[in-house]
Chain A
């Protein structure tokens, strides 16, 4: 088993954290999220992102409004709710803690 396959479940779990981070930085369309993740280890397809965003909306972490677009039908424009901001802050803090632990152990 390579290091990459070992870390696959962790990457999958962290996608939600990264999506919250991206939506939290500024309100975004789905295309913005895909573009931001493309070329990273977290490159994602719409088939994965839509179910995830629906789940986050169901959990009150993100919400969207419809925005007219220049070409084609209106688009969903996502932003974080107050609960989403709180969740993101908690995840950020915990992630830093994990990073410190990993860095401290074995030195």
Chain B
């Protein structure tokens, strides 16, 4: 017994792949997912890559053919290339600094750690561990620091047309916006 073809939805396109091509594609996307670990834009980038694969494969498919094989997929992946994490942000001496912003997408609570990690170029996992350790060391005082940062740090704009936020980041964000509104602070 053998599976003849697999129907795959790639972002906004649906295509037929044979088994070998399907496995190669799964491997490519899994590699990309791993490379983008910790990147707040990971899901968006993966969606872009899926769409690129769909477009490239469709373009390479011979007239009349419906199933994508390695003959189409491999050159398509070669043209798209392995996913590369972007380099550090360019900055001009004396120029405007990177904005310090909370990042709601992919946040655990409100996105303070994610924002700080992005700003200082640190690993967000390490920063979160440090925050939890500080919580114990300070006997809960860290909660006040987090709350203060949450209320003071502006939010980075949400991805347009992106997935809805998870429950806690969404709740945190509306809470912060509510408090800022009450205090008459312009919410960024």
A: residues with CB less than 8 A from B are 12-13, 15-17, 30, 45-48, 50-52, 54-55, 57-60, 63-66, 72-74, 76, 83, 86-87, 90-91, 93-94
Contact residues of B with A, CB < 8 Å?
11-13, 32, 36, 39-41, 44-45, 48-49, 51-52, 55, 58, 79-90, 92-93, 95-96, 98-99, 103, 118, 156-157, 159-161
Given contacts A52-B86, A54-B41, contact A60 B99 (CB under 8 A): yes
Please state if A94 and B92 are interface contacts (CB–CB under 8 Å): yes
Of the candidates A52, A54, A72, the one whose C-beta lies within 8 Å of that of B44 is: A54
State in angstroms the CA–CA spacing of A90 and B11 once bound together.
37
Q: Give A90 to B97 CA distance when docked, in angstroms.
A: 12
CB distance from A106 to the nearest CB of B (A): 22
Least Cβ distance of B75 to chain A in Å?
13
Residues from chain A with Cβ under 8 Å of B49 in the complex: 46-47, 50
The 4 closest A-B pairs by CB, nearest first: A45-B81, A54-B41, A47-B81, A73-B12
How many residue pairs at the A-B interface have CB separations less than 8 Å? 92
Is A47 a contact partner of B99 (Cβ separation < 8 A)? no
> Which partner residue on chain B sits nearest A52 by CB separation?
B86
Among A47, A48, A76, max chain B CB count under 10 A is at A47
10 inter-chain pairs at a CB distance below 8 angstroms, sorted by A residue, are A46-B79, A51-B39, A52-B86, A55-B86, A59-B98, A64-B160, A73-B13, A74-B12, A87-B95, A94-B92
Cα–Cα distance between A60 and B48 once the two chains are bound (Å): 19
Q: How far is the CA of A61 from the CA of B156 in the complex (A)?
A: 12
Tell which of A72, A86, A87 touches B55, judged by Cβ atoms closer than 8 Å.
Answer: A72
Residue in A12, A30, A72, A91 whose beta carbon sits within 8 Å of that of B87 in the complex: A12
Among B32, B55, B118: residue with most chain A CB under 10 A: B55
B99 touching A46 by the CB < 8 A rule?
no
| Cross-interface CB contact of A13 among B52, B79, B81, B90, cutoff 8 Å | B90
Inter-chain CA distance A48–B35, complex, in Å, is 12
A65 to B159, CA, bound (A): 11
Checking B11, B58, B83, B93 against A47 with a beta-carbon cut-off of 8 angstroms, the contacting residue is B83
Chain A residues, Cβ within 8 Å of B156:
58, 60
Give the residues in chain B near A54, CB-CB below 8 Å.
Answer: 39, 41, 44-45, 48, 86
B98: A residues at CB distance < 8 A: 59
